[in-house]
A and B are shown apart, each in its own frame.
Chain A
Amino acid sequence: MLISKFKGPVTRAVLVAVAALLHSHVALAALPIQHWTQAGGTQVYLVESHGIPMLDVQIDFDAGDRRDPADKAGLATMVANMNAKGVAAKSGLPALDENQLSQAWADLGAAFSARSGNDRMSFSLRSLSYPDLLPKAVALAARQMGESSFPEAIWLRERERIGAAIREANTRPATLAAKAFAAAVYGNHPYGFETTEASMGRTSVTDMREFYTRFIHPCRAKVSVVGDVTRAQADVLVKALLARLPQNVTARCEALPLVAEVAKLTAPVTEAIAFESAQAHVLIGQPGYKRSDPDFFALTVGNYTLGGGGFVSRLTAEVREKRGLTYGVYSYFSPGLHAGAFTIGLQTRPDQAEQAVRVAREVLAKFVTEGPSDAEVKAAKDNLMGGFPLLIDSNAKLIANVANIAWNNLPLNYLDTWTAQVEKITAADIKAAFARKLQPDRMVTVVLGAGA
């Protein structure tokens, strides 16, 4: 089969859309996302992309780490980890243990895995689209979605392995600094929960099955599909993927309980942790903002200047370029369903930690007080808008974007209007947004390993 010109939506239309910002009217979407809801409540989002005979599917559920019970931190992550450890016998199909399951995936040249983040549990499928392979991959994924067996003996082993890895991680300066930071920023909020040997010790496969039953259901699924299928094929495929989950609509689709918000800090927190390492680790930050916040674009453009633009950011200029204090310094927000942390991070030689902290704080304070210059705003926009095609130039990047739109209930034309949203932002917008969101005098500062 010849690789033909990419027939999907990522065409020169994107460039045209970018170039024609100031004259943009409602036009054909540059990146058409098809969306429909299936009878059982499953929401489907599709971008057709027929240039390569492959398919990516991502299924997201409100079953992320924030749904962990307080005494069982890590439950969602363990559920995701254990999902691939076997499927039960059902409807005449034999059980598959962890090895049979992974061999089956390898034999199809396909992959299926689950992972858990702060907010969502994601199941990801990548397969070739050949007619003799894709249906088998879908069928296997359906079994893994619907009949994951959560074998106890395997959990006991995994718990041991992960426990040993946790102990190892706790010898590393970066881990210890991050733990202290998360605890101080998040307090009791689930975003700050720490998976420990103790919390895993309280977690059973019964807990996992209950978690799974409660949160994984077709009516709760947001499914993104990017690749070599038509709409009709995608509809059939998604139904098949979820067909082995309980199909009863009424029983499991009531609204889930609200999760508490991240509390604001009322006073600065400073922690100096003694540690013997070649580098001191510095983390400065506070709760940030929610993804749904209208300040999203102002903060995104502003953070590029502060510490997100990599080599061209203020933090890099002051801490690395001018003073040679560090290899990497950065700032970022992590907006989610709740106000994920704003973080500034760097590592430096222990005797330089004090200076590095001072410089980072000065950069931050100045930025929050004054905002960016017009030149900086222009540079940020040039990069973000000019570089937009780089965000969507592969199926892998497309699926991440589509899933983001699906998850955050963004408009289907979000990618078509994205550069226009960036273009609107002014220096005053950024200054005001940062002043609303950040309080430099009330942040958490963790410094691990500093000293003469």
Chain B
Amino acid sequence: MKHTLTGKFVPTMMMHRLPIPILSLKPDWTMSTLRGMLAVIATAAFWAFSSATAQTLPTTKLASPASALSPVVAAVQVQQFTLANGLTLIVKPDHRAPTVAHMLWVRVGSMDEVDGTSGVAHALEHMMFKGTPSLKPGEFSRRIAALGGRDNAFTSRDATAYHQQIPANRLEEVMQLEADRFANTQWADDEFKREIEVVKEERRMRTEDSPRAQLYEAANAVTFAAAPYRRPIIGWMSDLDAMTPDDVRSFYRKWYVPGNVAVVVAGDVDVAQVKALADKYYGVIPAAATPLRKPRVEPVQAGVRRLEHKASASQSYVSLMFKVPQLNASGWAEMSAGTALSKDSRDALALTVLSAVLDGYSGARLDRALTQGEGRVADSAGADNGLLGRGPQVFTLDGVPAKDKTAQQVMDALRQQVAQIASEGVNEAELNRVKTQWVASEIYKLDALFSQARELGSHWVNGFPLDASARLVVQLRSVSAAEVQSVAARYFGDDQLTQAVLVPQPLDPNRKPRAPVAGDLH
């Protein structure tokens, strides 16, 4: 979804470190200028999925009836293997340039934590850079840098991923290093004591000094009563204060097992060679049982929830989160079997189309109705449908009130836009517009190797087939105006809603701000 002055804060992941430009070249012009559904569609791949038997499936030609777009059809094969110890290997050759993206995904995220040790998945991600029996703390990154590579990692609610981008001829060294630290990570208690302070600074930076992030954190905790999405990925501060080195070690031993891992390699590689390297470095890691996961199902919400959050700010901000169905693994099974999708799966897709009609491009419905014209009620407004994930999903409407307008007016206006679609529907031009953008973004995505690798990993985490994105676009394009109208009528009542309002607190002129300590600065 576009990010305008709303500055909607959706911390879907914590990164190991802020990406810092190495050279003073201009940054890449990314696809953020396109209003495509990249953020919603976890991956998009225009290639044929191929199993370990190396079958080539015919590629899918998407003829767009309404537009002249005839999408690129790629003959590139993604291949997937399962090693003897249960580790999954996914390889996507792409010979455009002599570079490779290498990622190790662990299907464990903040949703797998328990109360009292929130933040441990992310803390572990930090500690994974602190050494093995053969590597000193920080040595891993130094080695990758010496190979000409870039490395980082991130933790989301659903997964943890470690990634490197490297020249293609360095893949073996990278796989060796990554496999070593995955299997053998080891560090002294002292290292943890220092690094947990870094994590707390990260929390201060991302949340404690960001009013909208605080609102989001509070809203999540109210929206989800039992589902583990209720906790912040970074963890509550008191949990960080109370975390011990052994908390992190036991989380590591429990979840970092080969059967819970996928290694994704995309770029200028030969599949057979990568498989051989994976066998050599990852294949020797001993198998271990993947832990059972408690379901922690979110009880059905049967009444509106409302919260306010007061913080030092100038603008108010509102967020409306509606619990909605999602597209999950059984939905894909239905697609593969060629049977009709379940109602829930179909509804989830229609909700995504709805979010695009509302907010898929500048001047879409929310922009037009709320932020333009005389008496406009908002400075910005947005819509987003979760659609995918290991946990329950929500449809979010959000906005920032315009001068002299209230949070309530914005919330009413947002809901009114959905109600209008419920009663009057959407027109074919709007539908075709959002669908055209999805098809176009599929092609632009071929220019972004790292994005492709990321999507493959993300699909694996969700239990989706590797060509999920291509199939998803086909399905989204099949959604009709009637279906969009129908979901607009059924999912936006009060009973499934959590409404969150940021109440801005002006700086108190009487409150004495903390004064600099005498002698601070020489």
Assess A106 versus B96: contact at CB under 8 Å? Given A133-B69, A277-B209, A325-B197: no
Q: Are A106 and B35 in contact (CB under 8 A)?
A: yes
Chain B 468-522 interface residues, beta-carbon cutoff 8 Å to A: 507, 511, 513-517, 520-521
A110 within 8 A of B: yes
Q: Are A393 and B97 in contact (CB under 8 A)?
A: yes
Bound-complex Cα distance A14 to B168 (A): 12
Bound-complex Cα distance A164 to B362 (A): 20
State how many angstroms separate the Cβ of B440 from the closest Cβ of chain A.
Answer: 3
Tell which of B199-207, B387-395, B413-421 binds the partner.
B199-207
Q: Are A278 and B18 in contact (CB under 8 A)?
A: no
State how many angstroms separate the Cβ of A354 from the closest Cβ of chain B.
Answer: 5
Bound-complex Cα distance A397 to B166 (A): 15
Residue in A101, A445, A452 whose CB lies within 8 Å of B521? A445
Chain B 45-97 interface residues, beta-carbon cutoff 8 Å to A: 67-70, 72-76, 95-97
State how many angstroms separate the Cβ of B427 from the closest Cβ of chain A.
Answer: 12
Q: Are B205 and A347 in contact (CB under 8 A)?
A: yes
Residue in A1, A6, A173 whose CB lies within 8 Å of B96? A6
- CB-CB < 8 A to A447: which residues of B? 516, 520-521
CB pairs A–B below 8 angstroms (14 shown)? A52-B443, A99-B372, A105-B361, A164-B315, A167-B314, A274-B515, A276-B514, A309-B145, A321-B138, A328-B18, A347-B204, A386-B147, A387-B150, A451-B515
Assess A102 versus B362: contact at CB under 8 Å? Given A164-B403, A167-B314: yes
Chain B window 433-451, contacts with chain A (Cβ cutoff 8 Å), 1 for yes, 0 for no: 1101101110110111100
Q: Are A310 and B17 in contact (CB under 8 A)?
A: yes
A213 within 8 A of B: no
Assess A390 versus B99: contact at CB under 8 Å? Given A272-B516, A310-B22: yes
Assess A385 versus B148: contact at CB under 8 Å? Given A2-B73, A272-B520, A451-B514: yes
- CB-CB < 8 A to B511: which residues of A? 276
B286 within 8 A of A: no
State how many angstroms separate the Cβ of B346 from the closest Cβ of chain A.
Answer: 25
Chain A window 20-61, contacts with chain B (Cβ cutoff 8 Å), 1 for yes, 0 for no: 000000000000000000000000000000011110101000
Chain B 180-234 interface residues, beta-carbon cutoff 8 Å to A: 193-202, 204-205, 208-209
Residue in B96, B145, B362 whose CB lies within 8 Å of A383? B145
Q: Are A390 and B148 in contact (CB under 8 A)?
A: yes
Closest residue on chain B to residue A161 by CB atoms: B379
- CB-CB < 8 A to B165: which residues of A? 390
- CB-CB < 8 A to A150: which residues of B? none
Q: Are B99 and A389 in contact (CB under 8 A)?
A: yes
Tell which of B23-31, B108-116, B252-260, B333-341 binds the partner.
B23-31
Closest residue on chain B to residue A300 by CB atoms: B23
B169 within 8 A of A: yes
Q: Are B363 and A98 in contact (CB under 8 A)?
A: yes
Residue in A12, A173, A308, A347 whose CB lies within 8 Å of B98? A12
Q: Are A102 and B361 in contact (CB under 8 A)?
A: yes
20 additional contacts (CB under 8 A) given A103-B363, A161-B5, A321-B194 = A10-B98, A53-B72, A54-B443, A99-B362, A106-B360, A109-B436, A130-B68, A160-B403, A165-B315, A167-B314, A171-B312, A173-B209, A274-B513, A279-B204, A310-B17, A330-B20, A386-B170, A390-B148, A451-B515, A452-B517
Q: Are B433 and A308 in contact (CB under 8 A)?
A: no
Chain B 30-52 interface residues, beta-carbon cutoff 8 Å to A: 30-31, 33-35
B272 within 8 A of A: no
Chain A window 150-188, contacts with chain B (Cβ cutoff 8 Å), 1 for yes, 0 for no: 000000010011101101101111100000000000000
Q: Is the interface of B mostly helix, strand, loop or mixed?
A: loop
B309 within 8 A of A: no
Assess A394 versus B97: contact at CB under 8 Å? Given A102-B362, A106-B437: yes
Residue in A124, A171, A348, A382 whose CB lies within 8 Å of B201? A348
B149 within 8 A of A: yes
Chain A 348-382 interface residues, beta-carbon cutoff 8 Å to B: 348-350, 353-354, 357, 379, 382
- CB-CB < 8 A to A334: which residues of B? 24
Kindly name the residue among A56, A157, A330, A399 whose own CB sees the greatest number of chain B CB atoms within 10 A. Answer: A157
A140 within 8 A of B: no
State how many angstroms separate the Cβ of B309 from the closest Cβ of chain A.
Answer: 15
Interface residues on B, range: 35 or more
Bound-complex Cα distance A415 to B21 (A): 18
A326 within 8 A of B: yes
A243 within 8 A of B: no
Q: How many A-B residue pairs have CB under 8 A?
A: 319
- CB-CB < 8 A to B67: which residues of A? 107, 109
Tell which of A202-210, A215-223, A259-267, A400-408 binds the partner.
A400-408
Q: Are A170 and B314 in contact (CB under 8 A)?
A: yes
State how many angstroms separate the Cβ of A21 from the closest Cβ of chain B.
Answer: 14
- CB-CB < 8 A to A350: which residues of B? 514
Assess A328 versus B360: contact at CB under 8 Å? Given A6-B97, A10-B96, A447-B516: no
- CB-CB < 8 A to A312: which residues of B? 138, 141-142, 145
B310 within 8 A of A: no
Chain A 55-111 interface residues, beta-carbon cutoff 8 Å to B: 56, 58, 84, 98-99, 101-103, 105-111
Residue in A52, A157, A327 whose CB lies within 8 Å of B72? A52
- CB-CB < 8 A to A449: which residues of B? 514
A249 within 8 A of B: no
Closest residue on chain A to residue B25 by CB atoms: A404
A384 within 8 A of B: yes
B146 within 8 A of A: yes
- CB-CB < 8 A to A103: which residues of B? 361, 363, 433
Q: Are B146 and A379 in contact (CB under 8 A)?
A: yes
B313 within 8 A of A: yes
Bound-complex Cα distance A229 to B71 (A): 18
Q: Are B194 and A157 in contact (CB under 8 A)?
A: no
Residue in A326, A389, A397 whose CB lies within 8 Å of B28? A397
